[in-house]
Chain A
Amino acid sequence: MSENKHPLTVAVTGLNAIDSPGPGVAVIRALRDGLPKPLRIIGLSYETLEPGIYMHDVVDKTYQITYPGAGTEALLNRIKYIHDKEKIDVLIPNFDAELYNFMKLAPTLKSMGIATFLPTFEQFDARDKINLYQFGLKYGLSVPADKVIYTVEELYACAELLGYPLVVKGKYYDAVIAYTMEQAQKAFYKLTAKWGYPIIVQQFISGNEINVAVLGDGKGNATSIIPMKKLYITDKGKAWAGITLEDDTLIALAKTFVEATKWKGGCELEIMRTAEGVPYIMEINPRFPAWIYLTAAAGQNQPASLVKMALGDDVPHFTVYEVGKIFIRYSWDHITDVKEFQQISGFGEL
C-alpha cells in the first residue's frame, strides 16, 4: 500500500441503495472490511435521496456531482473542488452511464494524484450491448443472437429472425420480454423515451440466471472471479438473494473474457445457463455489481483489491473462495433529519 500522511481516501459513486440498488454502499462495505485503517470514504452522489448520503458509518462525507449529461468539464471542475478539500487517492465510479466521462478524465485525474482502475475505451466498447454478439462470435463465446434497431418498423424483421418471445433492451438499462408485436412496440417506445437510441432486440434464452463478478488486472489476467446464482429475483430482475457457486465452466468463461479483452477493473457477466448446461452471456456490465460484497464474504475482496491495484500494488490472483456463501438483501428505514436533507439539497455536501 502506498504511504500517505493523510488517511487513505477513496471516493465512490452509486450510493442509491434502493430496490434496484447502485453498487456504491456494497463497494464501501467491502473497502472498510479489506483496507487498513484509517480509511476515509467520500461519497459522490447525484440525487438528494440516495440513502448512502445519510449513512454516516458508511460514508464519511458526500458531495453531489454533476450528471453525466453535463459533460467532462463540469465534472472535472466539481472533482477539483472536492479534491482540494479531501485529497482523494482513488476514485471508483459505479454507474454505466457515468463511466465514459470518468474514463475520459482518467489521465487528468491521474495527473492530479487521483488513481482510477478503469477499462480502456476499446475494452468498454467491445462488451457494449450493441457489439456483444460480434464479440461472442470473435472469441467463440455463446451470446444470444440480436439485432440493433433504430425504428419501430424494424421489430417485424426481428420477430421473423429471432422468433417470440423477443427481449427488447434499452441502451443502458432495462429489458422487456415481449410475447407479441404489440408488447414489443410498447417496449420500444418506453425504452427509447427513457434511454434513447438504439434499441437492442435479443433472442430469448431460458435457463438459470447466474452472475459472475470479475476483477481484471488490465494485462489479461483475472485477479478474481466469483460466480453467483440468483436465488430470489425482484420484479426488476435484480438478485435479492444469491449463492456462490463452484463451476469450472463459468470460471473458464470469465477467464476467456478477461484474456480476450485484457479487461481492467471490475465487471459483471450476466449469464443464462440453459437446461443443456450452455452458459450464454446475456450482458457484460463494465463495473462492480450491487452484490459485490459477496465477493468479500466469500474470501476474494474485489473492491479492496481494485484499490490496491489502482495504487500500484501487486495483488496476487485469488484461487479459492467459499462455495455456498449466501447473501440476502434487506431493506431498512434509515432515519435522518430534515437538516441533513437541507444541507445536501442546498449546499451539495453533507
Chain B
Amino acid sequence: MHLKKNIATSESGFIFNPSTGDSYSANPIAAEILGLLKEGVPVSTIKAQILERYDVTNAQLEKDWDDFANQLKYANVLEN
C-alpha cells in the first residue's frame, strides 16, 4: 500500500489530493499511519508498531486496517 507521491499530508491529519482538489481530515492515529506510509515505511512494520504501542488485538487491527485501506482507496490517494 503506497500513497500517491503528490498527496500532501500534515501532522494535524489534513490530507490534500492536488490532482482532484479533494481534502480530508484524519484522526490522530490515521494521521500517524499516513505519515509513516508517506515516509515509505512498510505496512508490516507499521502494523507491528501499532500492536506494540496500542491496546489492540491483531484481529481487530486487521479489520480496522482493511476498513482504513478501503477509505484511502475510495479517496483515490493510493497508487494503483
Q: CB within 8 Å of B: which residues of A?
A: 208, 229, 231, 242-243, 245-247, 323-324
Contacts and interface: CB of A to CB of B under 8 A. Distances in A.
Contacts of B19: 245-247
Given A208-B21, A246-B18, A247-B19, 9 more contacts: A229-B20, A229-B21, A243-B21, A245-B19, A245-B20, A246-B19, A247-B18, A323-B18, A324-B8
Nearest to A230: B21
A323 B19 CA distance: 9
B75 to A, nearest CB: 13
Nearest to A323: B18
Interface in B37-54: none
Chain B contact surface mostly: loop
Nearest to B76: A277
A242 B20 CA distance: 11
- Residue in B8, B16, B18, B21 with the greatest tally of chain A CB atoms within 10 Å: B21
Contacts of A229: 20-21
Contact of B18 (A208, A231, A242, A324): A324
Contacts of A246: 6, 18-19
B17 to A, nearest CB: 9
Contacts of A231: 21
A245 B6 CA distance: 11
Contacts of B21: 208, 229, 231, 242-243, 245
A242 B6 CA distance: 19
5 smallest CB-CB distances across A and B, nearest first, come from A229-B21, A246-B18, A243-B21, A323-B18, A247-B19
Interface in B3-31: 6, 8, 16, 18-21
Contacts of A242: 21
A42 B20 CA distance: 38
Contacts of A323: 18
16 contacts: A208-B20, A208-B21, A229-B21, A242-B21, A243-B21, A245-B18, A245-B19, A245-B20, A246-B6, A247-B18, A247-B19, A247-B20, A323-B18, A324-B8, A324-B16, A324-B18
